Amino acid sequence: MKRILLRVAYDGTNYCGWQLQPNGLAVEEVINRELSALLHENIAVIGASRTDSGVHAQGNVCVFDTHSRIPGEKFSYALNARMPQDIVIQESREVAADFHPRHCDCTKTYEYRIYNATFPNPLMRRYTHFLYRPLDVSVMREAAKYLVGEHDFKSFCSVNTQVKETVRTINRLEVLAEPADGISGHRIITIRINGNGFLYNMVRIIAGTLIEVGYHWRTPDSIAETLAACDRAGAGATAPACGLTLMGIHYDEALLTVKESHREVSVDAKRVVEMPDTTDIEK
Amino acid sequence: MKRILLRVAYDGTNYCGWQLQPNGLAVEEVINRELSALLHENIAVIGASRTDSGVHAQGNVCVFDTHSRIPGEKFSYALNARMPQDIVIQESREVAADFHPRHCDCTKTYEYRIYNATFPNPLMRRYTHFLYRPLDVSVMREAAKYLVGEHDFKSFCSVNTQVKETVRTINRLEVLAEPADGISGHRIITIRINGNGFLYNMVRIIAGTLIEVGYHWRTPDSIAETLAACDRAGAGATAPACGLTLMGIHYDEALLTVKESHREVSVDAKRVVEMPDTTDIEK
C-alpha cells in the first residue's frame, strides 16, 4: 500500500466544485471514477481544498492509497490519458503514508482576476470577472495592508460556514495591474493572496470588498473596522466564482517525504495481505 | 447613409470561422443577424479578415452601411447587449463612406501561442497549442529572421488557395517565451507576426515550420531554401487553429476619417431618399 499525491489543475466552469454534490458533476468525482477504472480498486481521493462551483485551480492537491505497482510519478501520465480536457494532473508522486493534505500545516495561494475595461474580452471571460468601471488600484493596495497578518476573519466568511474558529493568517496580499489588449486603460487586475487557510468564500469576499474600495465606495482604513466588527454584513459582496483560481498549496517537504521505515513495512505487508487494506483510507 | 466600422473580438472555438459557411455558425452570421434585428435593416457586414474555423480574434474589423441615427461610437454598446458571450464588439465608429477594410493598405498582427510544458494547462487549452517536447526558442528566432521582409510566400500557403499573387511583406516576426504556472521549464511561447497581408493558412504554416526548427528537425537556414522552392511541400505542418489569434488590423487614420464633404452629401441625401440607398453595400 502506498499513498500518492496528485497536483490537479482544472477549468471549474463546468463543475459544481471540487467536492461531490447532488446537483452536478464534481472534479473529485471525475478523478475517483478514472482512478478506480485505471487501478481496478475503489478509490476515493482526499482533497486539500474544496473549491466552490465555478472556481478554477492551477494546483489543488489530493491523495489516495493504492496497491498499484505504478511508480508514483507515472500516475499523472496514466491518468491524464483518461481525463477530460478541463482536468489535468500536473504532477503525481508517492508521499508519506501518514500525510494528510488537510490535517497539516500548509499555505495556499489564490488569485482573483478582474478584467477591467470598457467591454468584456471573450478570450478572458471564463477566467476573469469583468468590471467596466475603472478601479483605483492604489487605494485597493492600501486597503490590502489592513488584511495582512493574523486576524479574526469572521466578517469575511460566508454565514453558511460550519467553522467555529475564524482566526486566520494572511502572509501576503498583492494587488497587481497589467495592461490588456494593448488598449489604453484596459487592465487585468490580479488580487494575489497567500495565507495559512481560508474560510468559506473568504477570498471572494475579500475581492468583493477590495473592489468596493477601488470604486471609492469605502475607504481603505474602513477595513480595520470591518475586521473588528466580526460581522459578515459589514464586508463587501462575494465576487463571482469565475475570477478565482487556486494557484497552489505549499507543504513543508519533510511532511511529504516517504520515510524509509514505512516503505519497508508497506513492502512486507504487500506480501501477506490478500484483501485490499483500506484501514487508512478516509471514508 | 453612413458607414460604421466595428472592431470585433471573439473566441473562435465554437465557430466555423468568420465567413458564412454551410457547415456551421460563422461569426459574421451572428453579427449580421443581431445588427439587422437591432436596426430593422438588412445588414451584411464586409469583413477585413476571413479567419478560419477555430481561430480567435482580439481585433478583427468589419464595416456596414446604415440609415440609423445611432451615433457611430454607440453601436458597440447597443450591439453587445445582444451578443453571445464569445463575440464582443470592442469599438465602433463612423468611417469614410468609401473606406473598404480589404481594398486598402493595412497591416495585420497575429499571435500564435504554444503552451510548452509536461502536461496541458486546462486554463490555457482553448487559446494555445499544447506541445510537451521542449522547444529551442533561440533557433526559432534565428529562423524567423529569414522570413522578415518581402518574399514570395508560396511555400507557406495552403494549396487550396485561389490567390495567384503570393508575394507578401512581413514587417516583424518575434518569438517570445514567458514562464508559465511558476513551474520550471513550463513556458508560453508566442510567435508574433506583423505583415501587410497573409496568404491562406500562412501564419499557421509559419508556426508549424518554426516548431520543426525548434525541435531541430530542420535548421534555421533551411528556411531560405524553403522560401526559394515556392513549394508548399517543403514547409512544415499547418499548426492547429486554436493557437492562433488575430490581434489587430492597423489602417492609416486618414483612410478612416469621415470627410466633411461626404458627411454633408449624406445628410442631404437623407432628406430626399425614401428607399434605403444600398448602392455602396458590397453584395
Please confirm, yes or no, whether B52 is among the known catalytic residues. Answer: yes
CA torsion A258-A87-B190-B85 (nearest 10°) is -150
Q: Reduce the secondary structure of chain A to three states and give it as a string.
A: CEEEEEEEEECHHHCCCCCCECCECCHHHHHHHHHHHHHCCCCCCEECCCCCCCCEEEEEEEEEEECCCCCHHHHHHHHHCCCCCCEEEEEEEEECCCCCCCCCCCEEEEEEEEEECCCCCCCCCCCCEEECCCCCHHHHHHHHHCCCEEEECHHHCCCCCCCCCCEEEEEEEEEEEEECCCCCCCEEEEEEEEECCCCCCHHHHHHHHHHHHHCCCCCCCHHHHHHHHCCHHHCCCCCCHHHEEEEEEECCHHHHCCCHHHHHHHHHHHHHCCCCCCCCCCC
Catalytic residue among B52, B65, B86, B181: B52
Which of A123, A181, A248 has its CB closest to that of B11? A123
> Which amino acid makes up residue A240?
P
User: What pLDDT shows up at residue A173?
Assistant: 98
Q: What are phi and psi of A115, to 5 degrees?
A: -95, 110
User: What pLDDT shows up at residue B270?
Assistant: 42
Task: Answer yes or no: is pLDDT of B271 > 70.
Answer: no
Model confidence pLDDT, tens digit, residues B124-171: 999 999 999 999 999 999 999 999 999 999 999 998 878 889 999 999
User: What pLDDT shows up at residue B258?
Assistant: 87
Q: Worst-scoring range by mean pLDDT, B37-46, B144-153, B186-195, B255-264?
A: B255-264
CATH 3.10.580.10 fits A2-104+252-272, yes or no: no
**B179 interfaces chain A, CB cutoff of 8 Å:** no
Which of A76, A119, A245 has its CB closest to that of B119? A76
The Cα B261–Cα A190 span in angstroms is 48
Task: Answer yes or no: is pLDDT of B280 > 70.
Answer: no
User: What pLDDT shows up at residue A162?
Assistant: 81
The Cα A117–Cα B246 span in angstroms is 19
Contact across the interface for A56 and B123, Cβ inside 8 Å: yes
What does pLDDT average to over chain B? 91
Q: What are phi and psi of A131, to 5 degrees?
A: -135, 125
**What cell was used for B206?**
509559419
CB atoms under 10 Å from CB of B213, counted, come to: 25
**A86 interfaces chain B, CB cutoff of 8 Å:** yes
Cβ neighbours of residue B54 under 8 Å, at least 6 residues apart? B12, B13, B15, B17, B240, B241, B242
For residues B31-70, one letter each, b for 16 or more C-beta atoms within 10 angstroms of the residue's C-beta and e for the rest, the string is bbebbeebbeeebbbbbbbbbbbbbbbbbbbbbbbbebeb
Task: Report the alpha-carbon angle A169-A170-A176, nearest 5.
Answer: 175
The Cα A60–Cα A259 span in angstroms is 24
Model confidence pLDDT, tens digit, residues A224-263: 999 999 999 999 999 999 999 999 999 999 999 987 765 5
Cβ neighbours of residue A255 under 8 Å, at least 6 residues apart? A96, A99, A104, A105
The Cα B220–Cα B101 span in angstroms is 35
**B127 interfaces chain A, CB cutoff of 8 Å:** yes
The Cα B123–Cα A12 span in angstroms is 9
Instruction: Sketch the domain layout of chain B as residue ranges.
Output: 2-104+252-272, 107-246
Query: Nearest-CA neighbor of A241 among A8, A111, A49, A53?
Result: A53
**B76 interfaces chain A, CB cutoff of 8 Å:** yes
Contact across the interface for A122 and B86, Cβ inside 8 Å: yes
Q: What are phi and psi of B38, to 5 degrees?
A: -65, -45
The Cα A32–Cα A30 span in angstroms is 6
User: What pLDDT shows up at residue A12?
Assistant: 97
User: What pLDDT shows up at residue A279?
Assistant: 39
User: What pLDDT shows up at residue A261?
Assistant: 60
Domain covering B107-246 in this structure, CATH number: 3.30.70.660
**A36 interfaces chain B, CB cutoff of 8 Å:** no
CA torsion B230-B232-B237-B240 (nearest 10°) is 100
By C-alpha distance, the chain B residue nearest A88 is B122
Query: Nearest-CA neighbor of A62 among A45, A37, A39, A74?
Result: A45
By C-alpha distance, the chain A residue nearest B78 is A119
- Give every residue of chain A whose pLDDT is below 70, as ranges: 261-283
- Residue range B246-259: mean pLDDT, rounded: 93
pLDDT band at B262, cuts 50/70/90? Answer: low
The interface predicted TM-score of the complex, written ipTM, equals 0.85
pLDDT band at B12, cuts 50/70/90? Answer: very high
**A248 interfaces chain B, CB cutoff of 8 Å:** yes
- Residue range B32-57: mean pLDDT, rounded: 97
Contact across the interface for B247 and A87, Cβ inside 8 Å: no
Closest CA of chain B from A243, distance in Å? 12
The Cα B119–Cα A80 span in angstroms is 8
Contact across the interface for B123 and A127, Cβ inside 8 Å: yes
Higher pLDDT, B61 or A279: B61
B250 near B61, Cβ under 8 Å? no
The Cα A214–Cα A235 span in angstroms is 14
